[in-house]
Amino acid sequence: MLWKRAKPDEPKWPSPWGEGRPGWHIECSAMSCALLGEQFDIHGGGMDLQFPHHENEIAQSEGATGKPFVRYWLHNGFLRVDDEKMSKSLGNFFIVRDVLKRYDPEVVRFFLLRSHYRSQLNYTDANLDEAKHSLTRLYTALHEHPAAPAPVDWNEPQAARFRDAMNDDFGTPEAIAELHQLANRSFQGDAHAAAQLKALGGVLGLLQRQPREFLQAAPIGVSAQWIEERIAARGRAREQKNFAEADRIRQELADRGIVLEDKGAATTWRRV
């Protein structure tokens, strides 16, 4: 566990037990101690590392220092793609950089937080799209009923349940459910609920942009300038009472993932 006998063409160092190299487990104890100290709060990793790797880390680190090693261990579930294990051999391997070419980073964060960190996570386009629509709903609540920034009111019922969920092994799915309850109240004109929605979203790194900035982030392959030009063309068609052309342009935008909202003489847009 602590020292591996050297194999041909491997890095090696002399030792009382012959030439070799540190074992994988002792490498991690050494790095943790050097960078974080002999004791630290949180150690993470996949569930497959609980045994033998993390058990060995604990044994050797506490054996060396005589002190408790880590206060909290967080072991995440596996990522699956279309209900299959992600692997290069199956050809369903991708990296975050590829995902961000198609989805807003906040949507990806929201997608991850909707599942408990210890549960298996199934990556599909449909699940990412569902997360996008759900996050859009929260931003829409803030857009339609803006409120002045305020600190979290932990005595408020949704905030108290949010805190209880997070204190129960980072129960982010239950915490996010409380955000949707606050959005429901916000849609009904509750300014306090809107302020709480934004403040609690900040705990998870969500909902901190201006709502219009998120809602008007143009879909991939569509520029904001093109959208505004099509809206202007639709406006001219409506002035000329060419409603068939106006409806055609609305549908053209809808096909690109753009929803128009007419409020009096003004027209605004947002992503689907």
Three-state DSSP at 190 gives coil
Residue 59 is predicted with a pLDDT of 95
pLDDT digits (tens, 9 = 90+) for 102-145: 899 999 999 999 999 999 999 999 999 999 999 999 999 999 88
Residue 1 is predicted with a pLDDT of 77
Residue 220 is predicted with a pLDDT of 63
Instruction: Work out whether strand 258-263 and strand 70-76 pair parallel, antiparallel, or are unpaired.
Output: unpaired
Residue 89 is predicted with a pLDDT of 74
Kindly tell me the sign of the dihedral angle through the C-alpha atoms of 218, 220, 225, 231.
negative
**Cα angle at 63 between 57 and 65, to 5 degrees?**
100
Residue 218 is predicted with a pLDDT of 66
Residue 109 is predicted with a pLDDT of 97
Type of residue found at 44: G
Positions of the chain with pLDDT under 50: none
Type of residue found at 94: F
> What's the token pair of residue 72?
């909290």
How far CA 164 is from CA of 80, 159, 173, in Å, comes to 29, 9, 12
- Are 241 and 176 a contacting pair, CB within 8 Å? no
Q: How many Cα atoms sit within 13 Å of 206 on the Cβ side?
A: 27
Residue 91 is predicted with a pLDDT of 76
User: Could you tell me the residue ranges of all domains in the chain?
Assistant: 3-76, 80-215, 224-271
Looking at the domain 80-215, which fold is it?
A: Four Helix Bundle (Hemerythrin (Met), subunit A) (1.20.120)
> What's the token pair of residue 31?
């790095």
CA 100 distance to own-chain centroid: 11
